[in-house]
Amino acid sequence: MDASIPTTPTPKIEIRHLDMAFGPFVLMRDINAAIRSGEIFVIIGGSGCGKSTLLRHLIGFLQPARGDILYDGRNFTAAGPDERERRLRQFGVLFQGGALWSSMTLAENVALPLAQYSPLSQAEIADIVRVKLALVGLKGFEDYYPAELSGGMRKRAGLARAIALDPEILFFDEPSAGLDPLTSQRLDALILELRDSLGATVVVVTHELDSIFTIGDRAIFLDARTRTATAQGHPRDLRDHSPDPGVRAFLSRRDVLEGIATPPAPAAPDPIDPTRL
Ligand SMILES: Nc1ncnc2c1ncn2[C@@H]1O[C@H](COP(=O)(O)OP(=O)(O)OP(=O)(O)O)[C@@H](O)[C@H]1O
Ligand SMILES: [Mg+2]
Q: What is the mean pLDDT of residues 99-126?
A: 93
- CA dist 41 and 232 (Å) reads 10
pLDDT per position as a tens digit, 3-54: 556 667 899 999 999 999 999 999 999 999 999 999 999 999 999 999 999 9
How many Å lie between the centroid of ligand 2 and the Cα of residue 150? 22
How many Å lie between the centroid of ligand 2 and the Cα of residue 113? 23
Q: How high is the pLDDT of residue 274? A: 37
Q: How high is the pLDDT of residue 129? A: 96
Coil, strand or helix at 129:
helix
Q: How high is the pLDDT of residue 268? A: 45
Coil, strand or helix at 58:
helix
In what helix (H) or strand (E) does residue 117 lie, and over which residues does it extend?
helix 106-117
- Nearest residue (by CA) to ligand 1, atom 4, is 22
Q: What is the mean pLDDT of residues 214-238?
A: 93
pLDDT per position as a tens digit, 52-63: 999 999 999 999
pLDDT beyond 80 at 260: no
Proportion of the chain in helix, strand, coil states, percent, rounded to 5: 35, 20, 45
Q: How high is the pLDDT of residue 142? A: 96
- Ligand 1 pocket by C-beta < 6 Å: which residues? 22, 27, 45, 47-53, 96
Identify each DSSP E strand in the chain by its residue range. Answer: 13-22, 25-35, 40-44, 66-71, 74-75, 91-94, 169-173, 201-205, 218-223, 228-233
pLDDT beyond 80 at 263: no
- Nearest residue (by CA) to ligand 1, atom 23, is 48
Q: How high is the pLDDT of residue 195? A: 92
Q: How high is the pLDDT of residue 9? A: 84
Amino acid at residue number 101: W
- CA dist 28 and 222 (Å) reads 8
pLDDT per position as a tens digit, 264-274: 444 444 444 33
Phi, psi of 33 (to 5 degrees): -160, 150
Q: How high is the pLDDT of residue 2? A: 54
The whole-chain average pLDDT of the chain stands at 87
- CA dist 128 and 119 (Å) reads 13
pLDDT beyond 80 at 167: yes
- Nearest residue (by CA) to ligand 1, atom 26, is 47
Coil, strand or helix at 44:
strand
CA proximity to 41, closest of 54, 27, 22, 28: 54
How many Å lie between the centroid of ligand 2 and the Cα of residue 43? 10
- Nearest residue (by CA) to ligand 1, atom 9, is 53
How many Å lie between the centroid of ligand 2 and the Cα of residue 237? 24
Looking at the CA of 43, name the nearest ligand. 1
Ligand 1: atom nearest CA of 62 is 1
Q: How high is the pLDDT of residue 126? A: 96
Amino acid at residue number 57: H
Three-class secondary structure assignment of 219-241: EEEEECCCCEEEEEECHHHHHHH
Strand 40-44 vs strand 218-223: parallel, antiparallel, or unpaired? Answer: parallel
How many Å lie between the centroid of ligand 2 and the Cα of residue 55? 9
- CA dist 271 and 78 (Å) reads 68
Beta bridge partners of 40: 202
pLDDT per position as a tens digit, 137-166: 899 999 999 999 988 889 889 989 999 998
Q: How high is the pLDDT of residue 184? A: 85
Is 18 in contact with 69 (CB distance < 8 Å)?
yes
pLDDT per position as a tens digit, 55-94: 999 999 999 999 999 999 999 999 999 999 899 889 999 9
Beta bridge partners of 22: 25
Rounded percentage of the chain residues whose pLDDT exceeds 70: 89
pTM, full prediction = 0.86
* Length of the chain in terms of residues written: 277
Q: What is the mean pLDDT of residues 225-234?
A: 91
pLDDT beyond 50 at 237: yes
**HSE (CB half, 13 Å, CA atoms) of 178?**
12
Looking at the CA of 48, name the nearest ligand. 1
Query: Which residues line ion ligand 2, judged by CB < 5 Å?
Result: 52, 96
